[in-house]
Structure formats: C-alpha cells, structure tokens
C-alpha cells in the first residue's frame, strides 16, 4: 500500500456499517419467525435425540418451515459428520 493510498483510504461510514449489520440480522430473524412457536424447542429436542447416537453440531440441523395453501411443510435437514462415530452406551 502506497503512501497515497494510505492517506486517501476512507474509513467506512458508520451508517453503512449499520445498514449491513441490520440486513444480516433481520434476514436471519425473519426466517425464524415464520414458523410456529414450538419450533425452537422442537429443534433442541431433535438435537438432543440425535446427539444420543451421533455427536453433531447445532448448525448441522436445518429446520425449515414453509406455509402452503393446503398444508404447511416442515423440512428437516440433518447432515451427519463424515466419519460419524456412534456414541457408546
């Protein structure tokens, strides 16, 4: 980085930062609010059941809720680790 660059480099304006942060968090929160109230608890319960057999991270369970005309669709997507080791009991 040259001397010229150093002086001309602008600090990002805080309002721009605010907008970017808001867009990310609000998009995330909108996804979560479309489903019924029991969804977060159900997600935790499913996690704990799976964890009895295969150790997985929370971000490997994807719960999608879609409202349809005739029926609502609950989609569960669980990716197991490549070398899933069963937990011994």
Binding site for other proteins (CB under 8 A): 13-16, 18-19, 21-23, 25-26, 29-30, 33
Rank residues 34 and 62 by Cβ distance to other proteins and give the closer one: 34
Minimum distance from residue 24 beta carbon to other proteins (Å): 11
13/88 with CB nearer other proteins = 13
Q: Could you tell me the smallest distance in angstroms from the CB atom of residue 74 to other proteins?
A: 17
* Alpha carbons 50 and 45: distance in angstroms, whole number: 9
Token pair 């059941």: residue: 49
- Lookup: tokens for 88: 């011994």
| Closest CB to other proteins among residues 33, 85 | 33
Measure the CA–CA gap between 78 and 60, rounded to whole angstroms: 6
Residue 63 dihedral angles phi and psi, to the nearest 5°: -110, 120
């Amino acid at each position: 980085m040259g001397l010229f660059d150093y002086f001309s480099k602008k600090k990002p304006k805080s309002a721009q930062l605010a907008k970017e942060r808001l867009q990310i968090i609000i998009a995330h929160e909108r996804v979560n609010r479309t489903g019924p109230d029991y969804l977060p608890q159900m997600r935790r319960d499913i996690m704990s059941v799976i964890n009895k057999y295969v150790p997985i991270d929370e971000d490997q369970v994807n719960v999608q809720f879609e409202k349809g005309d005739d029926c609502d669709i609950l989609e569960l997507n669980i990716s197991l680790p490549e070398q899933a080791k069963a937990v011994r009991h």
